Every structure is written in structure tokens, then in C-alpha cells.
Amino acid sequence: MIDLNSTEILGAREAAEIWGKNKTYVRTSLKQSPHKWPKGSWRKFDDHQLVVTVAGMEAATGQPDPRKVEQNN
């Protein structure tokens, strides 16, 4: 079963904010570089809500989750 309360699942804007990216980063990245996103690392609901995984953001940006980096410092 998928835990929708997991911190590994994020809204696109929330994910972009956490990684310090523009609020449209995820949509733009998916459109321009879909190969960077592992299969199953994102899903679009209707025309408005886009949900991504932390693993997807790490793959697309090449950067680890900043929240985990902060915890280790």
C-alpha cells in the first residue's frame, strides 16, 4: 500500500521550492527532459495537480534532497 502521508511524495511546486527551483521547474523539466525522470517518479492528476517523488527530483536535478542534507549537518 502507498502511504500518501510519506515525505517522499511531493506536489510539484512544493518540490521545486525545496530544491530552490522556479515554481514551474517540474513541469518544464518533464516537458523538456522527460528522460531524466525515472519511470513511476511522477504523476499528473487532471490538468492541474502534478505529484513527484523525492527520487524523481533527485534524478532530475542531480541533487540530493536538501531536507536530508540539512539533517546531516
Residue-wise pLDDT for 3-56, tens only, equals: 989 999 999 999 999 999 999 999 999 999 999 999 999 999 998 899 999 999
**What is d(CA 8, CA 15) in angstroms, rounded to the nearest whole number?**
10
Contacts of 13 (CB under 8 A, 6+ apart): 23, 26
42-60 burial, b for 16+ CB within 10 Å, e for fewer? beeeeeeebbbbbebbbeb
**Can you name the residues that pair with 24 across neighbouring β-strands?**
none
Predicted structure pTM score: 0.89
